[in-house]
Amino acid sequence: MDFSLSEEHIQAQKMVRDFTEREVIPTIGEWDRKQEMNPDVLPRMAELGILGINIPVRYGGQGFDYITLGLVCEELERADTTLRVIMSVHMGLNSMALLQWGTEEQKQQFLTPQALGEKYAAFCLTEPGAGSDVANLAATARRSGESYILNGEKMWISLATKAHHFLVFAKTDPDAGSRGMSAFIVTNDMPGVTTGDIHGKLGVRAGSTGWVAMQDVEVPAANRIGDEGEGFKIAMSCLDNGRYTVASGATGLIRACMEASLKYAHERKTFGQPIGEHQLVKQKIAYMQQWYDSARLLYLRAGWMKNQGQRNTRETSMAKWYATDHSVQAALEAVQIHGAYGFSDEYPVERYLRNSKGAVIYEGTSEIHQLMQADYALGNREDRPLRCELPAYDEDFWQSEP
- Per-run averaged pLDDT (10 residues), the chain, 402 residues: 90 98 98 97 98 98 98 98 98 98 98 98 94 85 98 98 98 93 98 97 97 98 97 95 98 98 96 96 98 98 96 97 98 98 96 98 95 97 90 95 86
Identify whether residues 358 and 246 lie together within a single domain: yes
Identify whether residues 220 and 239 lie together within a single domain: no
pLDDT at 49: 98
Write the CATH number for 141. 2.40.110.10
Percent of the chain with pLDDT over 90: 94
Residue 152 bridge partners (DSSP) = 214
Strands 181-187 and 224-225: antiparallel
For residue range 290-336, what is the model confidence (pLDDT) as tens digits? Answer: 999 999 999 999 999 999 999 999 999 999 999 999 999 999 999 99
pLDDT at 165: 98
In a domain, 2, yes or no: no
pTM score over 0.85: yes
Strands 165-171 and 121-124: parallel
C-alpha distances in angstroms, 35 versus 38, 85, 127, 199, 219?
10, 15, 23, 8, 33
pLDDT at 129: 87
Q: Say if CB 41 and CB 84 are below 8 A apart.
A: no
Catalytic residue numbers, as ranges? 363
Identify whether residues 60 and 132 lie together within a single domain: no
For residue range 35-89, what is the model confidence (pLDDT) as tens digits? Answer: 999 999 999 999 999 999 999 999 999 999 999 999 999 999 999 999 999 999 9
Domain encompassing residue 150: 122-232
For residue range 277-297, what is the model confidence (pLDDT) as tens digits? Answer: 999 999 999 999 999 999 999
Q: Per the structure, how many domains does the chain have?
A: 3
